[in-house]
Amino acid sequence: MTTALGPRRPVSLTVNGRAQNLEVSPRRTLAEALREDLGLTGTKVGCNRAECGSCTVVLDGRAVFSCSVLAVEAAGRVVETVEGLAGPDGLHPLQAAFIEHDAVQCGICIPGMLMSLKALLDETLAIGEDDVRQAVGGNLCRCGTYPNTVKAALAAARALRERAGAEAR
Amino acid sequence: MSPAGPPPRGRLLVHGDTPPPLGRELSVIGRSLDRRDALDKVTGAAMYSSDMTLPGLLHAKILRSPHAHARIVRIDTSRAAALPGVHAVLSLENTRGWHTYWYMIAQPAFPEELAYAGQEVALVAAETVDIALEALGLIEVEYEVLPAALTPREAMAPDAPRVPVLDVERPREGNVQQPVYVRARGDVARGLAEADLVSESRFSLPTQYHVDIQTRCCIADWDGRRLTVYEASQGVWNVKRELAKSLGLEEEQVRVVVQNMGGGFGSKAGAQRVVHYAARLAMLAGRPVRLELTRPEEFLSHPRRYAGEVTMRLGARRDGTLTAIDAEIVLDIGSGSLYAGRYSMTLHQISELYRCPNVRVRIVAVYTNTTPTGPQRGVLDPIATFSTEAAIDDLAARLGLDPLAVRMTNYAADFQGLDDTTPALPYTSKHLDACLAAVAEAIGWSERDRPRAPARGAVRRGVGLAAYCIERGGYAPFSAKADVVARPDGSVEVQAGVVEIGAGQITVLPMIAAEELGLPADRIRIHHGDTDGTHYAPSSHASRITSEVGPAVLQAASLVRRRLCELVADRLEVSPLDLVAVDERIHVRGAPERGVTFTEACALMTEPEIRATGSRAPNPDDVIFRLFGAHGAEVEVDVETGEVRVLRIVCSHDIGRPINPKLVESQQYGGAVMGLGYGLYEEAELDGKSGVLLTPDVHQYRVPTALETPIIEARNVEREDAFYPYSAKPVGEAPLVGVMPAVRNAIRHALGIGIDQLPITPARILEALAARKASADAG
């Protein structure tokens, strides 16, 4: 019945801390694998050609457009999606700050925004407005929440710095 | 927080008794509560139509016309239908006479003569997307390609081809929709003759695409008796009624569900074509069908913003007093104007904003062989606002006057009548003067000509502003209803047939119920986005939910409170009129100890629930409903590269009282960002020969990102307005409309040149600078 599909290949990867073993077509994108094979529909697909950023996930610590990474390319690698952002202690500071600063309207771009910023904050907490703008420069939000995105990201960085400071003491 | 005592309720627009005053300070309204859908949206738990699946789901794809104007001579879908895995095919062959509906405007579903490149020719529903795509390739279509008219100029030429339109029931003459819209007040010819100066400006305002980040996606499920549609639409009730009409079903047979949607901005105000197609395919196949558009298809097929060419002639005396306003607008309405022809929307800015005895507005709406047009945030307001506010600045420059002073010289406190037959009446409220003052102060208007140190090479700085007047505050049929239900366990639910579009509808409506019942907002649940279990509510468009559904929720909650107070009054042996609901208690006014908790009050009910329905009454006709406000912009322009950098946008909306200030500001940020896109970046390009859209993606069609977004400040003016619930005037669309003229006027201030074509790209700025230089050299 199926057409134009090559033989499926086994792909093992880590998603949100859990090992996953998939059998995927070689042309399946990481976004499709996450959404359709693993049911992780938090990752959205708004253009399917690396233009809108709504499919952004973190792959081995870097923010990538998952619509433009093949699932087979993710073999053996570590993927983080919006579903893995909250921890056992509750929301990630980015999530809490997005709520508090109302950086969410229709919400469709938010998973991508959050993952772009997660990659930034994992790299450094010493960020300013320009770093935030650069980090989400590839995430389109047609509701125009950007001013609140900036406020929220800076607040989250502040919260994480304070947490790190408290732990250091 | 600003002081917000109990507002007057004298004119709250509901059927039946006006809800009594609360008799206490507000406790929920006016607080910046977090939006209640935010948690699901930041965790990825929020399900959009594109995230859903059903057992046995089929996938549909669309074959589209490659031609801007063509006749289908022959279509043969038999090979596609025979492909294994294909379950249903739709085309002209098996749907003759079928119409889809949008705003209840009938459109032929599969016309023989195609009006634009990208128009739907056939659909296939199959086991997989791949099979559906393969099947599309097996459909044989023979087209007779016809000459196309791609611009109003081409369409109005004497030998122009006749554009086959989607809004087939509208009268037309040639390619001009009828009647040509004209409204006039006084005598424009005399007003122009009396002027010391006639200032003429011509503006070119392009189309704008919505670019919802979620592409259109719906799932239709037909069980042989009832159709259920999981949609991304702005209005479940609009979709329900339009689908029922299109498919010949009873309304009760159609259920529409929208829990979350990824952007609307007017593009999803009613039942989109995709919904009709998916529903029909599901009914044919007997299995649920999913139809999702790709990003390029979004550009090709859905109604976009009207484009307009505008000529403004302002007559004025030397002191800036207007003697005449003469506006001629040629609208490109594409192959269909899917907004019921509300061209009157342009009037309000042009004919009302300034005191002027002689006004004429003429609108010629022209069909072209391009994608149909429809509402987008502000609909026609941007055309009217830009043209008026840019023309006022041009006039001021030509008279050597301060543009703000010219605005105030001509300030119109009251409605002047749209034409000689309509009476002059008061507005529900108008504080535009305060908005202009707030913007002027925030943007540094009085110091705008003081040189800024240090001057930076080729960079010029400018400050501009613009005022707006738009017609919002409720629309016919004025039949919004909502229920509030209290149950013996103390739980309360608002039931409203509204869609959460991202503006905070499902946050604000429970706040209203909470206020009336003396509860915290998070004690109120809301059932929404579903035609089952709700009454009719308008779509979340035209800035209308708070002003239309809000009063219904307020009234319903007030009625529930009354019933609970009766129960408590019986128990306490006092008059219900002596009771007050506050702090999760119902007690004797002034004696908090003499009362019961809200939950205890609910436990007194003997019925299974206390349910009340609130109902919005029509707007009265002795007062005029408009919204006012102003935008300011500060820009830097590089005269070597033509690059514009917007430093700051200030928004001042005559808001009444915000129910949730945080959400209001978010609307203002979003409107400003979309306005910046329209003003500076977003430009689509059609191939002038084939009519094919060359820019159907967000790489070439550039919507603003965080990188371009400047500082945006809200300096709203808060005053009471008794015609709105808690004085909350609408805010959804207004934040866009003044941005483009404010930026344009700031660029004019920076360069001394008015750029009259949007978007104001670096190329257009360099061209204008070169033209000035050439003219100076020639002079």
Interface mutation vs chain B, best among A29, A68, A142, most B CBs within 10 Å: A142
- Superfamily name with CATH number, domain B49-146+210-301: Aldehyde oxidase/xanthine dehydrogenase, a/b hammerhead (3.90.1170.50)
- Our CA-based measurement puts residue A81 at a distance from the nearest CA of chain B, in whole angstroms, of 9
Q: Name the average pLDDT for chain B.
A: 95
Residue B175: count other Cβ atoms within 10 Å of its Cβ.
22
Using a CB-CB cut-off of 8 Å, the residues of chain A touching B265 are 142
Nearest CA to B106 out of B98, B115, B114 is that of B98
Question: Architecture of domain B161-208+304-424 in CATH?
Answer: 2-Layer Sandwich (3.30)
**All structural domains of chain B with their residue ranges:** 49-146+210-301, 161-208+304-424, 475-615
Asked if B211 lies within 8 A of A140 by C-beta distance, the reply is yes
Phi/psi of residue A75, nearest 5 degrees: -60, 135
B108-164: pLDDT as tens digits? 999 999 999 999 999 999 999 999 999 999 999 999 999 999 999 999 999 999 999
**Number of helices and strands (H, E) in chain A?**
5, 5
What's the pLDDT band for B4 if we cut at 50, 70, 90? very low
What's the pLDDT at B420? 87
Q: List, for residues A99-132, the tens digit of each pLDDT value.
A: 999 999 999 999 999 999 999 999 999 999 999 9
Q: Which residues of B are catalytic?
A: 733
How far apart CA B263 and CA B409 sit, in angstroms, is 40
Q: Please, are residues A36 and B290 in contact by the beta-carbon 8 Å criterion?
A: no
Residue B10 is predicted with a pLDDT of 63
Residue B108 φ/ψ, nearest 5 degrees: -60, 130
CA distances from B492 to B19, B486, B546 (A): 19, 4, 19
> How many angstroms separate the CA atoms of B694 and B486, rounded?
56
Q: Which residue of A has its CA nearest to B209?
A: A142
Distance separating alpha carbons of residues A9 and A75, to the nearest angstrom = 10
User: What are the beta bridge partners of residue B360?
Assistant: B184, B326
Asked whether the beta carbons of B758 and B204 are under 8 A apart, the reply is yes
DSSP structure class, residue B693: B
Backbone angles phi, psi at A153, to 5 degrees: -65, -40
pLDDT attached to residue B451: 74
The CATH classification of domain B475-615, taken from the options 3.40.50.720, 3.30.56.10, 3.30.365.10, 3.65.10.10 = 3.30.365.10
Nearest CA in chain B to A139: B705
User: Of A5, A45, A95, which is closest to B43 when you measure between CB atoms?
Assistant: A95
Q: How far apart are CA B386 and CA B407, in angstroms?
A: 14
Minimum-distance CB partner of A47 among B210, B501, B697: B697
Does residue B450 have a pLDDT over 90?
no
Residue A1 pLDDT level (bands cut at 50, 70, 90):
very low
Q: Encoding tokens for residue A22? A: 């998939």
Query: Count of CB contacts below 8 A, A vs B?
Result: 178
Is there a contact between A49 and B295 (Cβ–Cβ < 8 Å)?
yes
Beta carbons of B101 and B354 less than 8 angstroms apart: no
Band (B347; pLDDT cuts 50, 70, 90) = confident
For residue B7, the model assigns a pLDDT of 47
User: Is a pLDDT exceeding 60 seen at residue B3?
Assistant: no
Distance CA B393, CA B406 (A): 8
Share of chain B above pLDDT 90, in %: 92
The amino acid present at B90, given as its one-letter code, is: L
Cβ–Cβ of A108/B673 closer than 8 Å? no
Of B131, B698, B707, Cβ closest to residue A52: B698
B647 in contact with chain A, both atoms CB, cutoff 8 A: no
pLDDT at B345: 73
Among candidate residues B219, B709, B391, the one with its CA nearest the CA of residue A132: B709
Which positions in chain A touch B34 (Cβ < 8 Å)?
Answer: 99-100, 102
pLDDT attached to residue B9: 57
**What are phi and psi for residue B41, nearest 5 degrees?**
-80, -25
Q: Which residues 6+ apart lie within 8 Å of B335 measured at CB?
A: B115, B116, B119, B163, B164, B165, B166, B367, B368, B369, B370, B371, B372
What percent of chain B has a predicted confidence (pLDDT) above 70?
A: 98
* Section B771-777 average pLDDT: 95
Averaged pLDDT, B589-609: 97
pLDDT at B344: 75
Which one of B59, B213, B505 would you mutate to disrupt binding with A, by most A Cβ within 10 Å of its Cβ? Answer: B213
In terms of C-beta density within 10 A (0-12 exposed, 13-18 middle, 19 or more buried), how is residue B133 classed?
A: middle
Q: Which two tokens stand for residue B216?
A: 């259109």
CA atoms within a 13 Å half-sphere pointing along the CA-CB vector of B558 = 22
Whether B213 and A141 lie within 8 Å, measured CB to CB: yes
Q: What is the pLDDT of residues B635-653, one digit of tens each?
A: 999 999 999 999 999 999 9
What integer pLDDT is reported at residue B455 of this predicted model? 60
- B295's enclosing H/E stretch is helix B295-301
Strands B492-495 and B481-486: antiparallel
Residues 107-146 of B with CB under 8 A from A: 127-128, 130-131, 134
Residue of B40, B42, B130 to mutate for A, most A C-beta atoms under 10 A: B42
C-alpha span between B299 and B10 (Å, rounded): 47
Which residues contact residue A162 at a Cβ distance below 8 angstroms, ignoring those fewer than 6 apart? none
Tell whether B83 is within 8 A of chain A (Cβ): no
Q: Which position has the higher pLDDT, B420 or B497? A: B497
**Distances in Å between the alpha carbon of B158 and those of A17, B106, B173, B266, B699?**
69, 28, 12, 34, 38
Share of chain A above pLDDT 90, in %: 93
User: In this predicted model, what pLDDT tens digit does every residue of B60-117 receive, in sequence order?
Assistant: 999 999 999 999 999 999 999 999 999 999 999 999 999 999 988 999 999 999 999 9
Work out the average pLDDT over A75-103: 97
* Predicted confidence (pLDDT) per residue in B558-575, tens digit: 999 999 999 999 999 999
Sign of CA dihedral B298, B304, B309, B311: negative
Residues B271, B493: Cα–Cα separation, whole Å: 28
Q: Are the beta carbons of B38 and A102 separated by less than 8 Å?
A: yes
User: What number is the average pLDDT over the span B272-279?
Assistant: 96
Give the residue-averaged pLDDT of A4-31.
93
Helices (H), B23-123: 38-43, 78-82, 92-95
Whether the per-residue pLDDT at A157 is higher than 50: the answer is: yes
**Tens digits of residue pLDDT in A21-54:** 999 999 999 999 999 999 999 999 999 999 999 9
pTM value is 0.96
Q: Do domains B161-208+304-424 and B475-615 have the same CATH topology?
A: yes
Query: Which superfamily is assigned to A9-84 in CATH?
Result: Beta-grasp domain (3.10.20.30)
How does DSSP classify residue A84? G
Domain extents for chain A?
A: 9-84, 93-163
pLDDT per position as a tens digit, B387-414: 999 999 999 999 999 999 999 999 999 9
Would the pLDDT of B6 be above 50? Answer: no
User: From the candidates A81, A108, A117, which should be mutated to test the interface with B, based on the most B CB atoms within 10 A?
Assistant: A108
- Which of B6-20, B70-84, B161-175, B718-732 comes out lowest in average pLDDT? B6-20
Helix locations, B400-456, DSSP H: 403-409, 432-443
Phi, then psi, of A37 in degrees rounded to 5:
-85, -35
pLDDT of residue B340: 63
Give the tokens for residue B480: 């919004």
Residues of A in contact with B211 (CB under 8 A): 140, 142
Which tens digits make up the pLDDT trace of B662-684? 999 999 999 999 999 999 999 99
- In this predicted model, what pLDDT tens digit does every residue of B226-239 receive, in sequence order? 999 999 999 999 99
**Confidence at B23, pLDDT banded by 50, 70, 90:** confident
For domain A93-163, say whether CATH 1.10.150.120 is its number. yes
pLDDT at A159: 98
**Mean per-residue pLDDT, B590-617:** 97
Contact A146 B673 (CB under 8 A): yes
What ipTM, to 2 d.p.? Answer: 0.97
CA distance B651 to B676: 13
- Give the per-residue pLDDT at B2: 38
B35 vs chain A: nearest CA distance in angstroms? 7
Burial (CB < 10 A; 0-12, 13-18, 19+), residue B132, is buried
- Asked if B700 has any chain A CB less than 8 Å from its own CB, the reply is no
Which tokens in the block code for residue B394? Answer: 């041009």
